[in-house]
């Protein structure tokens, strides 16, 4: 597992697409991704907005396709908000290409001049992510890789939301008891996904946990 931090200057098309947003903000930073639903195009994030002078956060319900659910903290022109993003129907196909089994990390900062993205995953997924970003960049300023390290109490952060959900459900229903109290087929029915997908999520979750627990040995 490696962490990629990628800094790039967005191309003209990307700048034009985001122009309405930057008429009211200078930049925004995703502090934490709480939920990503690739199928329905919905994200729930903790975001700090840096607003332009004279713009009030209390007058804003939406910033682009980002719906402000709650204002958690305000200091001068910086406001930390709980945000729900809705991907437009016309860009859903492009959006779904980023469903790469990655964990979105920090720093993740968007401004008119520069975008900084940070993601965690295996080599194959990171390379694919870079390939998707390149057409959106006029220039890549910096690209760095480092080992993803976690504190033991944060160990589940190495999992995607779906992997975590399936793993917790498996433990709850006795999948890891000996002998097992539930078969993978019955577990899949309780979760509401196919048996193959359930087993795949469990396999990937177990692999990620073992890799990070035993990292360095």
CATH code of the domain in which 178 resides:
1.10.10
| pLDDT at res. 152 | 47
Residue 167 sits in the same domain as residue 131? no
What does the alpha-carbon distance between residue 7 and residue 210 come to, in Å, rounded to a whole number?
A: 30
Q: 98, 116, 147 — which closes off a domain?
A: 147
Residue found by looking up tokens 């940070």 in the block: 118
pLDDT of the residue at 82: 95
Q: Quote the crossing angle between the two packed helices 161-172 and 195-213, to the nearest 10°.
A: 100
Q: How far apart are CA 25 and CA 65, in angstroms?
A: 14
Task: Identify the pLDDT of residue 95.
Answer: 94
CA distance 177 to 83: 39
- Whether residue 35 is found in the same domain as residue 142: yes
Where among 147, 166, 200 does a domain terminate?
Answer: 147
**Does 98 share its domain with 164?**
no
d(CA 185, CA 191): 10
The pair phi, psi for residue 201, each rounded to 5°, is -65, -45
d(CA 102, CA 80) in angstroms, rounded, equals: 24
Domain that holds residue 171: 156-213
Instruction: Say whether both 37 and 97 belong to one domain.
Output: yes
One domain, residues 105 and 35 = yes
- Contact (CB, 8 A) for 207 and 122: no
- Within this chain, do residues 29 and 94 fall inside the same structural domain, yes or no? yes
Please tell me whether residues 54 and 118 are part of one structural domain: yes
Whether 43 and 69 map to the same domain: the answer is: yes
Do residues 65 and 136 share a domain? yes
pLDDT of residue 25: 97
Specify the pLDDT at position 27: 97
Contact present, 170 and 37 (Cβ < 8 Å) = no
H or E segment to which residue 213 belongs: helix 195-213
Same domain, 8 and 82: yes
Nearest to 126 by CA among 114, 149, 143, 151: 143
What pLDDT is attached to residue 215?
A: 62
- The pLDDT value recorded for residue 144 is 96
**In the listed set 147, 174, 194, which residue is the last one of a domain according to the structure?**
147
Q: Position of tokens 């492009």? A: 94
Tokens 């607003």 -> residue: 51
- Output the tens digit of pLDDT for each of the chain's 217 residues: 889 999 999 999 999 999 999 999 999 999 988 888 898 999 999 999 999 999 999 999 999 999 999 999 999 999 999 999 999 999 999 999 999 989 898 999 999 999 999 999 989 999 999 999 999 999 999 999 988 765 544 667 778 889 989 999 999 999 988 888 999 999 999 999 999 999 999 999 888 887 776 665 5
Name the pTM for this structure.
0.72
Q: How many domains does the chain have?
A: 2
Using only C-alpha atoms, the chain has a radius of gyration, in whole angstroms, of: 19
How far is it, in rounded angstroms, from Cα 197 to Cα 39?
15
Indicate if 111 and 167 belong to the same structural domain. no
Pair (10, 113) in one structural domain: yes
């Amino acid at each position: 597992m490696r962490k990629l931090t990628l800094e790039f200057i967005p191309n003209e098309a990307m700048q034009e697409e985001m122009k309405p947003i930057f008429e009211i903000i200078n930049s925004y930073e995703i502090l934490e991704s709480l939920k990503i639903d690739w199928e329905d195009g919905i994200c729930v994030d903790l975001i700090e907005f840096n607003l332009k002078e004279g713009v009030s956060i209390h007058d804003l319900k939406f910033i682009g396709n980002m719906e402000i659910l709650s204002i958690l903290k305000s200091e001068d022109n910086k406001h930390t908000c709980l945000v729900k993003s809705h991907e437009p129907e016309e860009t859903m196909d492009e959006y779904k290409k980023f469903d790469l089994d990655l964990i979105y990390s920090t720093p993740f900062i968007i401004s008119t001049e520069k975008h900084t993205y940070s993601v965690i995953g295996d080599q194959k997924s990171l390379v694919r992510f870079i390939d998707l970003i390149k057409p959106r960049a006029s220039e890549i300023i910096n690209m760095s890789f480092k080992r993803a390290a976690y504190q033991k109490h944060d160990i589940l952060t190495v999992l995607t939301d779906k992997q975590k959900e399936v793993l917790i459900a498996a433990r709850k229903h006795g999948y890891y008891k000996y002998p097992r109290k539930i078969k993978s087929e019955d577990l899949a029915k309780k979760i509401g996904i196919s048996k193959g997908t359930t087993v795949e999520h469990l396999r990937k979750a177990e692999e990620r946990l073992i890799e990070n627990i035993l990292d360095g040995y």
